[in-house]
Structures are given as C-alpha cells and as structure tokens.
C-alpha cells in the first residue's frame, strides 16, 4: 500500500501521461493538416505510447492495493509551427516529464517505497530514450530545412516508425 502523498503523486502522473498522449494527438492533427503523413504517423505512435505509460501507472496503483482517481486533462494547443518547432516543443515536453518522473522517484525514496522505486526505474530509462529520440529528430530537421525534398525524406523516415 502507498502513503496518501505517494498515491496522489502517482495519480497525478497518470494525468500527465494522458495529457502527453493528448498533446501528441494534437500534433498529429497539425501534421495531417500540413500534409505531412509521416510526421503525423510518428505522433500517433507517440500518443499511443504515452497512453500505455499512463496505463502502467494505472495498473501499478491497483497492483499495490491503491485507488486510481482520474482527473481532468487540460486541452493541448492546436497550433505548433514548423516541424522543427514542433519537435523542439516535443523535447521540452519530454524534459518536463523527465523532471516529473525524477520528482516521483525522489518522493518514493523519501517515503521508503521500494516497489515504486523499482517500477520508476523503467520510466527513468524510458525518458532517456524519449529525449534522445526528440533530439535526434531535431538535428535531422535542422539538416533537412523547412521545405523541399529533404523535408519530404524526413517525413517518409518518420512514417516508417513501427508502433512501439
């Protein structure tokens, strides 16, 4: 069982993960409107992955005898700018999520909740990967430029992302 403080923080994290899914879905819609189906596909896959992250927290809380209390999810933005600007926002968002995961880990340490610390190791590793992927796409987009054949090649490359 969790302390009340840790259970609330884990429930808050479900909301953050589901917001991330919603944000990436909004970005997918942005790319669909811009006729960049590869970028849209990447964002759809990312949205699915974030929903799965929320569900990991959901299931973990129940596995430990806790109670999930779902909260309202804030509306994400609908306008994002160029592909480079979008992925800069993705990186910033993932850095924020990393900070939230790190804060959760610190709380689990403070509360001496070892099972939660172990579970959070997976998320810590995942956030390293998320930030690395966003940074790599930013570098690709800096090389590709704002339009032209290189951007279309980047769109095709991102469209080949398998569902994670």
- On whether residue 136 sits in a domain, the answer given is yes
| Residues 79-89 pLDDT 10s | 999 999 999 99
- On whether residue 164 sits in a domain, the answer given is no
Interval 156-162 mean pLDDT: 79
Q: How far is Cα 155 from Cα 70, in angstroms, rounded to an integer? A: 35
Residues of the domain holding 16: 4-159
Number of Cβ atoms within 10 Å of the Cβ of 136: 11
The predicted pLDDT at position 163 comes to: 59
User: Which residue intervals of 64-148 are DSSP H helices?
Assistant: 83-110, 114-144
Number of Cβ atoms within 10 Å of the Cβ of 96: 12
Coil vs helix vs strand at 75: coil
Number of domains in the chain: 1
With 0.95 as the threshold, say if the pTM is over it: no
What CATH number is given to the structural domain containing 48? 1.20.1260.10
* Separation in Å, CA 128 to CA 40, 73, 99, 133, 148: 23, 25, 11, 9, 31
What is the radius of gyration, based on Cα positions, of the chain? 17
| Residues 22-33 pLDDT 10s | 999 999 999 999
The H or E element spanning position 4 is helix 4-33
Q: Tell me the Ramachandran region of residue 16: left when phi exceeds 0, alpha when psi lies from -120 to 50, beta otherwise.
A: alpha
């Amino acid at each position: 069982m969790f302390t009340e403080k840790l259970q609330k923080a884990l429930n808050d994290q479900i909301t953050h993960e589901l917001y991330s899914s919603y944000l990436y879905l909004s970005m997918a819609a942005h790319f669909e409107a811009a006729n960049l189906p590869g970028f849209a596909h990447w964002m759809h896959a990312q949205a699915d992955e974030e929903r799965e992250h929320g569900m990991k927290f959901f299931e973990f809380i129940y596995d430990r005898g806790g109670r999930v209390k779902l909260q309202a999810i804030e509306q994400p933005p609908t306008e994002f700018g160029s592909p480079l600007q979008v992925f800069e926002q993705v990186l910033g968002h993932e850095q924020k999520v990393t900070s939230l995961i790190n804060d959760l880990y610190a709380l689990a340490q403070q509360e001496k909740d070892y099972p939660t610390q172990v579970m959070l190791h997976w998320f810590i590793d995942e956030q390293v990967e998320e930030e690395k992927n966003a940074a790599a796409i930013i570098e690709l987009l800096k090389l590709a430029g704002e339009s032209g054949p290189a951007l279309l090649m980047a769109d095709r490359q991102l469209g080949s992302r398998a569902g994670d």
